Homo-oligomer: A and B are copies of this chain.
Amino acid sequence: MIFITRRERFNAAHRLFRQDYTDEKNLEVFGKCSNPNWHGHNYILYVTVKGEVNQETGFLINLKELSKVINLHVIEKVDHKNINLEVDFMKGKLASTENLAISIWDELDLPLQRLNAMLHSVKIYESENNIVEYLGPKINFGS
């Protein structure tokens, strides 16, 4: 069992708010992240897969393939986009980094299984100080 991580990056706008809150309530709960005119981030995404090393190639997974899957299913949908308005897999959800990590897991899980790679972790740096990691609906430490 080995773990391989691919780093990808995307730049996006978002806003934290609830439509059923007043502006005051949104400001109270979400602070300046609730700014109605949006703000944005350089998100850094780390996707980790796990599995056995293929004896013929020495690879768990070809990193070019891993990168392609992440770009097709995630980066192209979020890069230079508005997460609240334009990202199909975030529709109807609060645009928090927690929800983003969970939704990216859901986007990647099946396509990676088709490459015989088991998704282990989706980790997002919203900034150098704020990091979210999701290990999937049932945590499985490789046993």
Contact = CB atoms under 8 A, between A and B. Distances in A.
Interface in A1-16: 1-9, 11-14, 16
Contacts of A101: 2
Given A2-B102, A58-B96, A139-B1, A12 B39 contact: yes
Nearest to A37: B82
B1 A135 contact: yes
A57 B94 contact: yes
Interface residues of A, number: 66
Interface in A107-143: 127-135, 139, 141-143
A96 B127 contact: no
A129 B2 CA distance: 17
A33 interface: yes
Contact of A133 (B5, B62, B94, B130): B5
B81 A39 contact: yes
Contact of A32 (B9, B79, B143): B79
A18 to B, nearest CB: 8
